[in-house]
Amino acid sequence: MFFCNSSDILGLTMTHMDNNIYPEPSKFDPNRFENQASVPPYSFAAFGGGPRMCPGNEFARIEILITIHYLVTRFTWKLCADTSFCRDPMPVPAKGLPLQIQQEKPL
């Protein structure tokens, strides 16, 4: 309920840390966003939503794309020699994905 002439504040942290929406909310788990249909609308609102969404949302997306571009085009990526895989049901690195990254061109 909202009252006339009152100040109301939306606590996004409470929504982002809700166990009913995000199991183990303190754990870093980027896979939780793979199935958007299972996440209630507006439950993740780091940049707000609607017509007044933070312009930083688009800036952050472009910044990430530029960073990935430089990582892919300016560095050589090689798997480390002792990488083993297990099937689960697809091949998955057994101990993470150790990489050797070497700069090709100066930034």
Binding-site residues = 54
- Residues 16 and 40 sit within 8 Å (Cβ to Cβ): no
Please give the helix or strand (H or E) that residue 85 lies within, else none. strand 85-87
**Residues in binding site for heme:** 54
CA-based torsion, 97, 102, 105, 107: positive or negative:
positive
